[in-house]
Amino acid sequence: GAGVSQSPRYKVAKRGQDVALRCDPISGHVSLFWYQQALGQGPEFLTYFQNEAQLDKSGLPSDRFFAERPEGSVSTLKIQRTQQEDSAVYLCASSSPWTDATNEKLFFGSGTQLSVL
């Protein structure tokens, strides 16, 4: 596809369930980011991949959150034992492989809205 694709679009989970959120970045994009956006707030950084390497996971709120990108393309964000405070929109974004600073766009997907009951 032409853009960043995320699935599912909506996810309802019971407290304590595990969930997996998928991100399919734009083909060839090296950098991939996950963000968490609580209702009425700006997105907050969770983690960053360069190809398959997870170079920054400083934003992951707890060890229940785990992300992977094993082949350097599709990424999965997994949340174990979900809790109500995990309810948010999870956004994935990717950027071009070019190091040229004039290419500044970060392309976002439409997000996965997670509701934990």
Partner 1 sequence: AQKITQTQPGMFVQEKEAVTLDCTYDTSDQSYGLFWYKQPSSGEMIFLIYQGSYDEQNATEGRYSLNFQKARKSANLVISASQLGDSAMYFCAMREGLYNQGGKLIFGQGTELSVKP
94 neighbors 31 (Cβ within 8 angstroms)? yes
Which of 11, 33, 67, 75 is close enough to bind partner 1 by CB under 8 A?
Answer: 33
Residue 20 DSSP symbol: E
- Closer Cβ to partner 1, 66 or 107, answer by number: 107
Q: Residue 82 is encoded by which pair of tokens?
A: 């979900």
Q: Which of 13, 20, 30, 74 binds partner 1 (CB under 8 A)?
A: 30
Residues 54-113 that bind partner 1 (CB under 8 A): 55-56, 59, 89, 91, 93, 95, 97, 99, 101, 104-111, 113
Contact between 41 and partner 1 per CB under 8 A: yes
Q: Give the residue with the Cβ less far from partner 1, 58 or 84.
A: 58
- What span, in angstroms and rounded, lies between the C-alpha atoms of 96 and 106? 8
Cα 28 from Cα 69, distance rounded (Å): 14
CB of 115 vs partner 1, minimal distance in Å: 14
Q: Which of 12, 18, 44, 117 binds partner 1 (CB under 8 A)?
A: 44
**Which of 11, 25, 6 lies closest to 79, judged by CA?**
11
> Is 53 exposed, middle or buried, given 0-12, 13-18 or 19+ CB atoms closer than 10 A?
exposed
Binding residues (CB under 8 A) for partner 1: these are: 30-31, 33, 40-45, 48, 50, 55-56, 59, 89, 91, 93, 95, 97, 99, 101, 104-111, 113
